[in-house]
Structure 1
Amino acid sequence: MKHDQLFNIYKEQNFSSKEEILTFLSKESCKYTGISNIEFKNEILKREEQGSIEIAPGVLLPHFESSSFIKSKIFILPIKPEIKEWNEEIQNVHLVIAILLKTDEDSSIKQKITQFTRKLADDDYLDRLMNAETKNNN
């Protein structure tokens, strides 16, 4: 995967709960997209209520679009050890990929996001993301 300002890839992170992950991601999103911590958490939880965010066993893809974003961002967060319980339906989470799409984003950025999401259907690609060794590609 080409690394550019769209992606932030973190080394394996050690979290003990869903709340810790959401707090970490909300702080990161605030730095890069300009959205508040509270708005981030509310939007992620609202998205989760709409339907499962699990795209493969233990792989979560929370995402939402907002006009509040100053730019779009993708956070790739491998988690070790895994989070045993995310919610009643989702267990053993070992990778979180958060996609934050700026409303009216440039078509070239939208195209990069589309190309990236298509690759997520490939188990080998997901394995590489889970073992990412790059930190904070801004």
Structure 2
Amino acid sequence: MNDKLIRVFFDSSLTSKAEMFELIAEQANPEKKAELYKLLQKREAVGSTLIAEKVILPHLESEEVLESQILFIKLRQEIDWDEQTGPVQLAIVIILKKNEEQAIKVAISQFTRTLADEEYLARLLLEKEAGQFEQMIRRNNGGMLSE
């Protein structure tokens, strides 16, 4: 997928919240992975990031982030996230660089509004083909996140 801000991890073999946080932190900045991992844990302690059944929206904003991006992580097998959240199959992760330019902040903000569509999220959960999954993401963001 060539969209500037979007990275897709389809059929991911992650098996735990810890592995998910490691992947997110690695994508945000491999050299500051431990620090970013702790920020993700801290955010999670504030409250659930569940936005629909089996769908979470972890997010992170830090000066340590190298570039803002949105990760779509579709899991091969559900992860039992925690008692409050339950099983998770899809993570839509927003990684934001501190003091990001306004145009990117606006694009990400507009994108997050599309996540209120539960039907869209259900279709993402059910999709079995990587190409179709990416097409759905591209169609749904309407070019907002493209270069």
TM-score (norm 2): 0.78
Q: Deviations over 1:51-84 (max 9, x none)?
A: 111111111111121122232111110112111x
Which structure is richer in relative contact order (CA contacts within 8 A, separation 6 or more)?
A: 1
Per the TM alignment, residue 24 of structure 1 is displaced from its structure 2 partner at its CA by 2.1
Q: CA deviation at 1:45?
A: 0.5
What is the CA RMSD across the aligned residues, in angstroms? 2.4
- Does residue 133 (structure 1) correspond to residue 134 (structure 2)? The answer is no
Q: CA–CA distance in 2 between the matches of 1:102 and 1:43?
A: 13
Confirm or deny: 8 A CA contact 1:62 1:97 kept in the other structure.
Answer: yes
- Higher helix fraction (1 or 2): 2
Q: TM-score, normalised by structure 1?
A: 0.83
User: How many residues in Structure 1 have an aligned counterpart in Structure 2?
Assistant: 132
Identity %: 35
Q: What is the aligned partner in structure 2 of residue 115 from structure 1?
A: 110
Structure 2 residues without counterparts, runs of 5 or longer: 135-147
- Cα distance in 2 for residues equivalent to 1:43 and 1:51: 13
Which runs of 5 or more structure 1 residues have no equivalent in the other structure? none
Partner of 2:86: 91
**Equivalences for residues 66-77 of structure 1 within 5 A:** 66-77=62-73
